[in-house]
Structures are given as structure tokens and as C-alpha cells.
Chains A and B, each alone.
Chain A
């Protein structure tokens, strides 16, 4: 594992609020549990991005997870540069669009995108002129997890599907002639 702290861009320091829980937005028990068992956990990094209430879905049933230094998900800060998986939840407003594009561009190949919640899938609860109707209008999405907010089982299932996709090497954005292949 490289030291990713070097790569943190000034523009995107994500360690302002509650920095010790970088994965904190998504550190729900279910995510941790299903991810821990996955073989890929040492190679692939999440970039969790939540703009609104979906972040809550993971904290409601969260057991207190103490950062004891043994859990790989808590070891270092994550920036979008080393992340392969963008987990986005929340509404996509016009102001977020340029930022999201930037994040997606900077992510390293191969890229997976998980859209969590109805807002990220279709903008449904706030359908109107102010929110975009889905993340796939911006870039290809691999997995969608429906619900408002999604249930724990839904998140579990979605992540299982994601890791299966990864094992089989199905990805929406693989760089051609890239040195960074898909590690299995």
C-alpha cells in the first residue's frame, strides 16, 4: 500500500470534519462486514461521497467501531486519486456537477461507481428543475442500491454484487493499455 497522504490535493482535503472517520460516512456495520470478507479489500479503495441524508442509513445501526489500527479501512485517509470505487449518495445539484466530474476524472483506473439511494439513481423525491435525474447522466454507473434511505440488506446485496463484478472483471471504465490492471 502506498502512502496516500502525499497525494491529497489541496483542493479536496476531505479530512476536515471528523477526519478519523474518512470512511465514516459509509462505515455502517454492513458495509464493513461484507467488505472485510472480500479478497479485494487491500487493493481497492472507496471514495465515499454523500451529500445528504443517505449517510444516515449507515450510522443508524452502526456499532461503535473503534479505530484500533488493525482495520485496513481506517488506516489512512483516502483521496479520490487512489480510489477505484466511487460510492455516491445524495442529490446531484447543478453546483455539485463540476465537482463530481472532477472527482471521477481523477480516480484511478479501473473505475467503479455505486449509486446509493433514490436521489442518486433518479432524483426522485426532489424531482424538479433543481436536481439531476440520475448519476448515469454524468458517467457510467455499475451498481445501484435503491431505497430512501436504502436498507441494510440492500447495501449488503449491492456490495456483494459489486465484488462479484470485480472478480469477473466487469467494469464500466477500464483504461486501455493501462499498466494498472485489475488485480484479483
Chain B
């Protein structure tokens, strides 16, 4: 089936449900505008007949300031077809009082996305004739922060929340008395951020589990709407603070693609180095945190050494500590320091050595194997829940955005996609180890062929005029610099979903520009958000100790979930 055929299939399956229009962009992405109200049937047909088996994200947009549209809101469903490797965005307009049926019976992962839309935008979505619950803010909170007319949050109205569990009416009194509700958090040690877990225990096993989110909801998306583009780079770095340069890379790349700027080849290569280094460090962090969890000394030193030396190498480049601001719109903010490439090659050798020793000692540990193979995830289940990245690959699904949608030099470098079989934590561990090896491979190839030249684009729209021109008293150059400092680059009209393979999975960014310096809507699609959601399913029936291992292997970061 090529994409031409796919268009015909879409036409066949959508025509019974009223009007629609399909636009195919130059990169092959589909935008389907549905005007009828049978959105549920349309989505079902797209999944059943056209192969869009994964829901990537749902985005809600408030169009209040746009005078051209009649209805206030817009919903965008981003779907993915694995066979054709095509992404489709289904757009529908929603009025203020309209009620939209939930599609969580079509894709399980729609549940949290819809709750988020109701919470932040106030679009009413019903599930089994009930309006969905809020997700970040407590139920008694009024107001919807992402609406354009939202003003402020009243800090005094918040109280500690109650148990989220509804009474199970099927149980006898005796069974009820055996169940106890335990909470954990919001204070968690380690670097996972703040969240609270409500757990209902039956003896030692978890019978129900419900995460409570929103403890570090900083409103990154709302803040970026009110700032110019350059000033939001630091917000994107704090999205996933374990690998800060990945978020800012995506932010800068999305804007560069929208403005249509080609960045210099050297900047592309440096960005690839940053991305692969972040991947290595974050994978090691994931493995290391399970080791700490299990109090397993074998191999711990090696993995922590990789993290430590890698962080040190990165901070040698950035010189500003952890949050580096290395990526900027149009390229890198500074060139590689002298002798840095030599240090990188040395680091590659160090990682290889440590990885070999660490992996040898973990592989032979029966305890490590037993503790990690308690819960397996099936591939179909993982696809339903929108799981991506190493976890999806550990269930045997051969999918990597670096291969499917290569950017920069990813089609030129040679690397393989490691796959697991059972989807257990142990498989995730093996996949991660193999991925580290592949990343080292990519790093070595890029380092061998590092292009020379500029590290930032000289395009008039984003880069500063040279000092010589200012000294000569060139008024045009001065005005350009003034404008770049005060206002920054302008985002052209249009909507775009950009994504990349972050260490954790698919990191996506949906941007809407309106010929202004501020974006009209920013939506981050973070892997942790979609990995946390099925955790409450997968942890059922496990003891707390095993649930901890599963949790750590999912590598969830609350700052990514809450945003």
C-alpha cells in the first residue's frame, strides 16, 4: 500500500460520516479536517481500516483571538500508521458548549490526554455519560489555565486531596476490611520529581493504584505563549532535566523548520553528538536507578562512572553547568572548545570499557535477572497505550524515529535498532545496553566526519549583525540587532508537529505560529506522560517492591509529565 492507495482507503472509510478534506504536506504528513460531528466513528474507521493504530497525542487549541473561526476551540488528534510510517492530524472544531465523546475505548492512552484537555481548556469530554475528571488541578479548582482569558491561580483554595478511589460495591464487608489505602509522596527521594501514588493494598499486593499529578505543573506551555521564542529555550531545557539539551534541540529544530532556515552542517553534527551523549547518560541513569533500588552493588560503580564522566564532558563544553543553553535558534551558541573532540574519543573508550565490565557483572547476576523479569509488557498492549522508545522496542516492535524520520545526518550514519522479546524490565535493560553501544557507534562516526565551518546560521532573520558593521555606524544593522534582542525571530503562520527520538521515547512539539514573535499554542508530547499512564495497569497484582522496579524501568520523570 503506498500513500496514494492510503488516501483512497481514507476516502472510502470516511465518506459515510459527512464532509471532510485531506491535505498532504510535502513531507507526506496528512491533515484531515472533519466537519461532521461523528468524530468517534471517524476515528474508529481510521484505526480499523486505515491502519492508524497509535494515538500519538491529542491537542486542544483555544482560538478565541482568531476572528476567522466560528467555533471557539479546536481539537487535533495526531495518529501514526506504522506500516506506511505516516502521521496524520485529524482536526475538528468544537464550540464552547459542545460535548465531545471520549475515544478512550479506541485508544487506551486517550484517557489522560482528554483529562488534560478538560483540565486546561475546559472542553467537555464525556466518557460513559460522565464528564472526565481533572488531571493536574484538584476538582474544586475553577478556571482553565490554557484559555486565553485566564488570569491567575488562587493559592489559598488548594487543600490536601482525598482518596481518589470509588467504593467497590461488589465487595463484601470482610473483603473491604482487608483492603487498606496507602499513599506515597508527594515527596520522593531520588530525581524523579514530586508526585503522589494512592495505592489500595490487599495483603501485600496492590489491587488498585492511582497516581496524582500536578505537583510541579509549572505551565511551561502557557509561559511559552507569552514570551518570545528565544526566551522559551530555557523552559524547554527544564522539561526533561536529566537530558536538557534534548528538549532545547527539538524546540530550536521545530522553529527552524517553520521559519525555513537551514542550519550549518557543523551545528547539525554537534547537535547529533549532544543527542547521542544524552541518550547514553540517560540510559545509564535508568539502569543505575534500578540498581540503587535493588541495592545491588554489581556494576553500580561502572554505570555511575559513565554518568559522571559524561556530565563532566558536557559541562566542559557548556561551561555553565547543567543547564547549558547550547542550542539556540539557528545553530549552537558556541563552538566546541579546543581538544574537546579528543576528550570525546577518550570518553567513548571509557564508556566501552565500563559498559563491558558493568554488563558482564549484571548479566551473570541471577538476582538481577529474577527481579527484573516479573512483569512483561505485550507489544499490542504497548502500542495501545502509546508507549514509544526503548520500552516499545523491548517488546519487539521495530520502530525508531531516527530511522523512520531521519533528520540531520541520521540517514548517513550506520546503526542498528536492538529489539527485545518479552517486554520485561530485563529486556528493557538489554535494549538499553545495546542502544548505548549503537550510540557510541554513531558518536564515533560523527566525530570522524565532523564538518568545519560556521556553527550558527548567518541568516538575517535570526542572527546578529557583525561587530564591524556596528562600528561603522550602519543604522540598518543596529536596528536589526535591536529587533532581535527585543522581539526575536518571527514565527510564520502555520501548524506543525515535530518530533524526535529522545532517550525515553518520542518527544513531540506541536507549534502554532501566527506571524508574530509569540507562538499561539505550544504543546509538548512527552514520553513520560504516556508511560506513566499504563503503570497503574501494570502494577496491579504486584508487591510494592516489584512495582518499584517496574516504575524505575519505565524511567518516568514528573517534570515531563506535569510540564
Contact = CB atoms under 8 A, between A and B. Distances in A.
Given A17-B188, A20-B292, A131-B218, 7 more contacts: A16-B185, A51-B186, A55-B190, A64-B304, A99-B160, A128-B219, A128-B222
Interface in B203-217: 214-217
Nearest to B223: A128
Interface stretch (B87-95, B150-158, B384-392, B484-492): B150-158
Given A129-B153, A130-B218, A149-B322, A24 B300 contact: no
A93 to B, nearest CB: 6
A11 B304 contact: no
A24 B155 CA distance: 30
B190 A129 contact: no
A18 B293 contact: yes
Interface string B220-232: 1011001000000
Interface string A1-25: 0000000001111101111111111
A95 B138 contact: yes
B548 A17 contact: yes
B191 A130 contact: no
B118 to A, nearest CB: 17
B238 interface: yes
B308 interface: yes
A19 B294 CA distance: 10
B188 A14 contact: yes
Contacts of B136: 95
B144 to A, nearest CB: 12
Nearest to A56: B191
A161 interface: no
Nearest to B241: A53
A56 B295 CA distance: 20
Question: Which of B160, B182, B188, B197 has the most CB atoms of chain A within a 10 A radius of its CB?
Answer: B188
Contacts of A102: 160
B293 A149 contact: no
Interface of B: 136-138, 145, 150-155, 157-160, 182-194, 197, 214-220, 222-223, 226, 234-235, 238, 241-242, 289, 292-293, 295, 297, 300-301, 304, 308, 311, 321-323, 544, 548, 551-552, 558-559
Interface of A: 10-14, 16-25, 48-53, 55-57, 59-62, 64, 66, 90-91, 93-99, 102-103, 125-126, 128-132, 148-149, 151
A13 B196 CA distance: 11
B189 A48 contact: yes
A22 to B, nearest CB: 6
B238 A125 contact: yes
24 contacts: A16-B544, A16-B548, A17-B192, A21-B189, A24-B189, A57-B322, A60-B308, A60-B311, A61-B308, A62-B308, A64-B301, A64-B304, A95-B158, A95-B215, A96-B186, A96-B215, A97-B158, A98-B158, A99-B160, A102-B160, A103-B187, A128-B223, A130-B217, A151-B321
B190 A24 contact: yes
B216 A90 contact: yes
Given A130-B217, A131-B218, A17 B551 contact: yes
Contacts of B159: 98
A13 B235 CA distance: 31
A49 B191 contact: no
B191 A95 contact: no
A125 B235 contact: yes
A151 to B, nearest CB: 7
Nearest to B301: A64
Contacts of B300: 64
Contacts of B217: 93, 95, 130
Contact of A21 (B145, B292, B552, B559): B292
Contacts of B226: 128
Contacts of A48: 189
A18 B153 CA distance: 34
A103 B217 CA distance: 20
A129 B151 contact: yes
A152 to B, nearest CB: 10
Contacts of B188: 14, 16-17
Nearest to B322: A149
The 7 closest A-B pairs by CB, nearest first: A53-B241, A130-B219, A51-B194, A16-B184, A126-B218, A18-B190, A94-B158
Nearest to B199: A16
Given A11-B183, A18-B293, A130-B218, A53 B308 contact: no
A49 B187 contact: yes
A97 B161 CA distance: 12
B65 to A, nearest CB: 18
Contacts of B297: 66
Contact of A51 (B182, B193, B304, B308): B193
B201 to A, nearest CB: 12
Nearest to B300: A64
A56 B242 contact: yes
A17 B189 contact: yes
A93 B218 contact: yes
A60 B322 contact: yes
B342 to A, nearest CB: 23
A97 B558 CA distance: 17
Nearest to A150: B321
B299 to A, nearest CB: 12
A126 B223 contact: yes
Contacts of B216: 51-52, 90-91, 93, 96
A25 B292 CA distance: 13
Contacts of A90: 194, 216
Contact of A93 (B183, B185, B215, B220): B215
Contacts of A64: 300-301, 304
A18 B285 CA distance: 13
Nearest to B242: A56
B555 to A, nearest CB: 13
A17 B293 contact: yes
Contacts of A56: 191, 241-242, 322
Nearest to B195: A51
B321 A129 contact: no
Contacts of B191: 25, 50, 53, 55-56, 59
